Amino acid sequence: MELLQLQYFQTVARLEHMTKAAQELHIAQPALSKTIARLEQDLGVPLFDRQSRQIRLNHFGRAFLKKVNLALNVLEEGRKEVADLAGTERGSIHLATNNLGRITSAISAYRTEHPEVNFRILQTPPASMEELVNLLENGEVDLCFTAASIDHPDIREQPVLDAEVFLAVPPGHPLERRSSIRLEEVAAEPFIEYKTGHPFRKINASFCREAGISPNIVCEVDEPSALGSLVQAGLGVAFMPACRKDETPPYKMLRLETPVCRRVFRIAWLERRYLPKAARSFGRFLAEYYAELQAP
């Protein structure tokens, strides 16, 4: 059994299509088919069910794929660790996030200081915390950046940004002259919210429960930019995190006196997997970067 066979099998298993796998691997399809056939011969069982030109991973293949993924991930970790020790890798960071807008400026600032480091960024749906876990467990990313705790026994988390949450009100709103407010005072206001399942929706719901109110949600969105645009258009009020010091939003931001409303953004990584130097460096940088932004 050869390493190349395992890598080829992993690709074919993911795509379940021999032609597409051959194209992705940049080899001829007959050569790929022979490689998979030799692997099945070595194992003594078929790994795919074949019907005409269709192939599907069977129960032998699914069981074998789990071990192949583990083996190849361990080898990749070893490569990264040896490269770090030898000082030959210029650095790369594989990052997944369900809140790209909040971390974009930090990535840009880090690249300014470390132009030799390359980023590969995967943006996941806001509600898909399970996808972040899978990406870490499968070794597809080094770090995740999220505003909600992943809450997994094998995943470590480090808070890097503790952001105060304000209530944004439209221009000309009767509350615009106020500088602060208690959340219970706006129980009757129309609220613009994130869609059900979004981590921010869950955090915002906890604020409302603590204040003893049930918000009147008139509109649901996916993106923070849409939230701000609808507030500006006068459709309702919304929970919004503190802006950067160099930003002035086109709507009034009221400090919430009670309850205390904050969002904690964090990075997460799989504890049992080797974390490359570049990823560790970026984690330290994030904490310092956001602390500087929040400094008075």
For 163-204, the pLDDT digits (tens) are 899 999 999 999 999 999 999 999 999 999 999 888 899 999
For 23-52, the pLDDT digits (tens) are 988 899 899 899 999 999 989 999 999 887
What number of CA atoms fall less than 13 Å from residue 76's CA on the CB side?
15
Measured CA distances, 26 to 7, 8, 11, 17, 21 (Å): 13, 11, 12, 14, 8
User: What is the pLDDT confidence band of residue 296, given thresholds at 50, 70 and 90?
Assistant: low
For 155-169, the pLDDT digits (tens) are 999 999 998 999 999
Domains of the chain, with CATH numbers?
Answer: 3-68 (1.10.10.10), 87-160+264-294 (3.40.190.10), 161-263 (3.40.190.10)
